[in-house]
A = this chain, B = another copy of it.
Amino acid sequence: MSIDAVLSMLKSREKDSVGRLMEWLRIPSVSTDPKHAGDCRKAAEWCAEQLRLAGLKPEVRETGSKERPGHPIVFAHHPGPAGYKGPHVLFYGHYDVQPPDPLDLWESPPFEPVLKPAKPGGPGERVVARGAVDDKGQVSTFLEAVRAWKDAAGGVPIALTVMIEGEEESGSVNLENFIKAHKDELARADVCVISDTGMPAADWPAITYGMRGLAYCEVVLHAADQDLHSGLWGGKVPNPINELCRVLAQLWDADRRVTLPGFYDRVLETTEEERAQWRRLNLDPAAALKKIGLPPEASIGEQGWTFIEREWARPTCDINGIYGGYQGPGAKTVIGAKAGAKVSFRLVADQDPMEVGRAFEKWLRERTPPGCRWEFHQHSGGPPGNVPIDCPFLQAAIRALKRANPGGKDPVLIKSGGSIPVVGMIKTLLKLDTVLMGFGLEDDRVHSPNEKFELACFNLGARAHANLIAEFASATSKY
């Protein structure tokens, strides 16, 4: 059976595989820094070459405009073998990386990847470099799988579209236009696969089947047209800070539930099956809180839900910033003319960011303090991502992970409280579900100095992608 040959080949070339990843990591493709524009292109071309070696016909496509060019996107179509009946897969990833600052905290230079013991004195190794896991390392698990299919079985046996962008770490500013411009090509896909998430442990694979969405608003409450002397005016006119606090405090009830009318109407129920999956993780809230300097009693949130359910299953509201009046040292007896806050809502399926933003604005206007006025902006955001547990693509990924980790722990279904905006974009523009099959660990130091990727995770990822391709290749329908 060809998958066995593919897995044997992966096993035999593990050293070469990590060598290739280290080559890619040497290219400082920092997308936010214009002086690395050439490096970004180099990283894109390196990636295209890998796809070419896997038998695909990649292109390095331009993004942005002539006036404001973006970093290129590596794009490839692969029709699959004649008579292929399974689903057409869109693989998305990114070759750009976060800036390496602060440089002085790196134990080795960020763009000179090194192998270190996974644990001092213990077995296994890790690769340390900027981008080791986010996302070059994770994308490489896919690249190694398709190369192994080519080399061991003559070709990639599924219909595949690959889209590797270079601006994920700088807001994917050109991705939406790119997807719109290439919608006809991209719409051939039946499902999207991304490797940019994590798993509970190196020997415990996971599928992330839900991410929270985001509605991010900014509100400014205006009162007098000037700053006022708090002695001469205090107590007889609206103080926008007083009033803002009084209004925003009403966002939560005594059970810490968000009070916007209808806020929970679209929230999907968490099933007993889901809870059972999460209980398998045996998470220790006290240990998690300790890492950020909080005692066990700081485990607070919506009444009736556990620590992890509050992150994965429940929407929430946070004030991410607040400002008004005098902020310098000492005392100033002023009543500011205005006060503002950045208020965001983390959303779960099937909440809609624009709907929540509108509800919040309406709610604020109903609470306008006498003589005041609101200024309201809705900043960036995105819908929640969610794949039903019984989705066949997800079930295929679970089978692939199981086969990639023989004798190991059964894959677990997890969620994340964060957002991957591209998941929402792909859902909205292309109507595709995304399977998030990621191989990072919590301690990989993503975006921080000494970012690393365990080779155990890297190799598991390559085997998983190889198996997932086999799953789809043997499908007799698109599911």
Is the C-beta of A479 less than 8 angstroms from some C-beta in chain B?
Answer: no
Q: How far is the CB of A198 from chain B (nearest CB, A)?
A: 11
Q: Which of A284-338 contact B (CB under 8 A)?
A: 285, 289, 292-295, 297-302, 307-308, 310-311, 314-327, 330-336
Contact present for B230 and A311 (CB under 8 Å):
no
Identical copies in the complex: 2
Is the C-beta of A130 less than 8 angstroms from some C-beta in chain B?
Answer: no
Query: Which of A27-35, A396-404, A416-424 makes up part of the contact surface?
Result: A416-424
Contact present for B297 and A237 (CB under 8 Å):
no
Contacts of A301 in B (CB 8 A): 235-237
Is the C-beta of A65 less than 8 angstroms from some C-beta in chain B?
Answer: no
Contact present for A235 and B333 (CB under 8 Å):
no
Q: How far is the CB of A377 from chain B (nearest CB, A)?
A: 10
Q: How far is the CB of A429 from chain B (nearest CB, A)?
A: 21
Partner of A223, one of B241, B251, B252, B294: B294
Query: Which of A13-21, A120-128, A355-363, A368-376 makes up part of the contact surface?
Result: A368-376
Is the C-beta of A214 less than 8 angstroms from some C-beta in chain B?
Answer: yes
Determine which residue in A320, A336, A369 has the highest number of CB atoms from chain B within 10 A of its CB, and name it. Answer: A320
Contact present for A319 and B418 (CB under 8 Å):
no
Query: Which of A4-12, A54-62, A339-347 makes up part of the contact surface?
Result: A339-347
Partner of A214, one of B228, B249, B333: B333
Is the C-beta of A271 less than 8 angstroms from some C-beta in chain B?
Answer: no
Q: How far is the CB of A422 from chain B (nearest CB, A)?
A: 15
C-alpha gap A15/B159 in the complex (Å): 100
Interface string of A386-398 (1 = CB under 8 A from B): 0000000000000
Q: Given A235-B310, A318-B335, A322-B339: A224 and B294 within 8 A (CB)?
A: yes
Contact present for B325 and A324 (CB under 8 Å):
no
C-alpha gap A332/B343 in the complex (Å): 10
Determine which residue in A216, A224, A319 has the highest number of CB atoms from chain B within 10 A of its CB, and name it. Answer: A319
Interface string of A145-178 (1 = CB under 8 A from B): 0000000000000000000000000000000000
C-alpha gap A331/B320 in the complex (Å): 8
Is the C-beta of A259 less than 8 angstroms from some C-beta in chain B?
Answer: no
C-alpha gap A325/B292 in the complex (Å): 16
Classify the secondary structure of A's interface with B.
Answer: mixed
Q: How far is the CB of A175 from chain B (nearest CB, A)?
A: 17
Contact present for B311 and A236 (CB under 8 Å):
yes
Is the C-beta of A180 less than 8 angstroms from some C-beta in chain B?
Answer: no
Contact present for A230 and B318 (CB under 8 Å):
yes
C-alpha gap A417/B230 in the complex (Å): 8
C-alpha gap A323/B302 in the complex (Å): 25
Contact present for A323 and B327 (CB under 8 Å):
yes
C-alpha gap A244/B318 in the complex (Å): 12
C-alpha gap A234/B319 in the complex (Å): 10
Contact present for A342 and B326 (CB under 8 Å):
yes
C-alpha gap A412/B341 in the complex (Å): 44
Partner of A371, one of B216, B226, B294, B342: B294
A selection of 22 A-B contacts at a CB cut-off of 8 Å is: A216-B331, A223-B294, A225-B292, A225-B294, A226-B292, A231-B417, A232-B418, A234-B316, A235-B302, A235-B315, A236-B285, A237-B300, A238-B300, A241-B341, A245-B322, A249-B249, A297-B370, A298-B370, A320-B335, A321-B327, A323-B327, A330-B379
Extra 20 A-B pairs, beta carbons < 8 Å, given A230-B320, A320-B336? A216-B331, A224-B298, A225-B292, A226-B293, A233-B417, A234-B417, A235-B315, A235-B417, A236-B299, A236-B301, A236-B308, A237-B292, A239-B318, A241-B319, A242-B318, A245-B319, A248-B249, A249-B250, A321-B327, A322-B322
Q: Which residues of A contact B (CB under 8 A)?
A: 212, 214, 216, 218, 223-226, 228-239, 241-242, 244-246, 248-252, 285, 289, 292-295, 297-302, 307-308, 310-311, 314-327, 330-336, 339, 341-342, 344, 346, 369-372, 379-380, 416-419
